[in-house]
Structure 1
Amino acid sequence: MGNANGQLKKSPAFLSGVLLGSLIGAAAVYLIAVPSGKKLFQDVRQETISLKGKSTGLIKAARQKSIDLKKAVVPNRGNSDSTERMIPIPRDYV
């Protein structure tokens, strides 16, 4: 019975230590990990501007590549000596 009394006396101290440690840990995580609202908004704005610039560059590159590809595939239309014929693509396919 003496052993059971010893465990009962240690139990409240252990539980209060767990509770206090949890509170301190939660406060530390909140203070360290969560940026302020203004800082988060600025970060999102900067990332949006960066992505907009990248997408503009990609669109220009894709447009230029499509023009180059079209020039490579479609022969000079003014040249009547060309014997190549284009195969028509049905409207419902496009």
Structure 2
Amino acid sequence: MSNRKYYVFMPKAADAMALLQNIKEKGVESTLVPTPREADHCCGVSILYYNPLDKEKIEFIALEEEIPIDGFWDMENKDDPNRNRFL
């Protein structure tokens, strides 16, 4: 598991849904997620992608499909692996 999380920031939720559908069709493992609080970005949803090498592919698909992107952002993965674990 990577020690980082990779996000695509979108101007609006409809753009996020359109891009998500396109990148998944092209084989990019990704999901729609709430924008992290630490990001301080206005749109409430972002796309989380798992392979940092997919960034260029995502940029190309967005340009090709004329879907606007606000930017890319990554952060340290602070997920607790013991969360939801019961004794």
> Which structure is larger by alpha-carbon Rg, 1 or 2?
1
Greater length-normalized contact order (CA 8 Å, ≥ 6 residues apart): 2
Same fold at TM > 0.5? no
Structure with more of its chain in strand, by fraction: 2
Scaled by the length of structure 1, the TM-score of the pair is 0.17
Give the TM-score, by structure 2 length: 0.19
